[in-house]
A and B are shown apart, each in its own frame.
Chain A
Amino acid sequence: MIEIEDRVFTALADATRRRLLTRLAQSSPKTATQLAREFPITRQGIMKHLDLLAHAGLVQVQMKGREKRYVFNPESLQAASAWIETIDKQWDERLQRLKSLVEDDNV
């Protein structure tokens, strides 16, 4: 359960990458050069972050001529989202059982 989403979680553990991804979710495709204008880091720094996001499948790379364009890939979030939902759901079920117990039984 944990291993599957490692790369997604690793990619999202960094605040800059989260902002980059949010920016791409708002508007993509974008090139590293375009993103470097919007963020206070160098194009090289942007590239490193984009590589990690691409490795996790969070963004996809499109080639246009010699330039790479990055596109947000929402499908990649499903596994991480499912992981969180699973834990949420387990607790909801337990709390529901606890509610039945304290409301109905002699505790």
Chain B
Amino acid sequence: MEAVVIERSIVVTADRERVWRAITTPEHLAKWFEPIRFERLAVGEALTFGWGGAGSIALVEPMDRFGFHWQIAPPHPAQTLVVFALETVPEGTRITVTEQGFEALPDEVRQARFKDNTQGWEKELGELIAYLQAGSYD
């Protein structure tokens, strides 16, 4: 089960090829994201992050989507899945990043949180919190 937790997007005035290179090559990743070492751009390839964390490439769909697993709270081994999706828009390219799988937490926490197997509750949680904090229920 995958619950979308975080979704952010941005529009850049650059074409998809350019964005694709920026999000999939260690040289460029180090400039805007993190130093990430890997040999091949292929699903299953191991990733080593500059701060010592580990991960692996989960998704390679050239010019469309790139995804990887990485440790959410090192040294705890739990990993989340990060996916970048590219879309051509009039201004250039829309980049949407999602991070999900925060349920990969210690067992006791996960079981308590997910025993009702509610999909997408974390996204819903964000909306609920926004709603509750907006005070519109007064």
Residues of A within 8 A of B (CB): 1-2, 6, 9-10, 12-15, 18, 21-22, 25-26, 72, 74, 77, 80-81, 84, 87-88, 91-92, 94-103, 105, 107
Report A-chain residues with C-beta under 8 Å of the C-beta of B28. 101, 107
Contact A107 B97 (CB under 8 A): no
Instruction: Spot the interface stretch: B15-23, B40-48, B58-66.
Output: B15-23
Other 12 A-B pairs with CB < 8 A, given A18-B125, A81-B133, A96-B10: A2-B72, A10-B109, A13-B114, A22-B128, A77-B129, A77-B132, A77-B133, A88-B6, A91-B97, A95-B9, A101-B28, A107-B28
How many residue pairs at the A-B interface have CB separations less than 8 Å?
A: 110
Report A-chain residues with C-beta under 8 Å of the C-beta of B113. 9-10, 13
Contact with A along B117-128 (1 / 0, CB 8 A): 010010011101
Identify the closest chain A residue to B112 (Cβ).
A10
Report B-chain residues with C-beta under 8 Å of the C-beta of A15. 116, 118, 121
Q: How far is the CB of A5 from chain B (nearest CB, A)?
A: 10
Contact A102 B109, CB 8 Å, known A14-B118, A81-B133: no
Contact B129 A84 (CB under 8 A): yes
Report A-chain residues with C-beta under 8 Å of the C-beta of B116. 13-15
Q: In whole angstroms, what is the CA distance A102 to B115 when docked?
A: 43
Q: How far is the CB of A52 from chain B (nearest CB, A)?
A: 9
Identify the closest chain A residue to B29 (Cβ).
A98
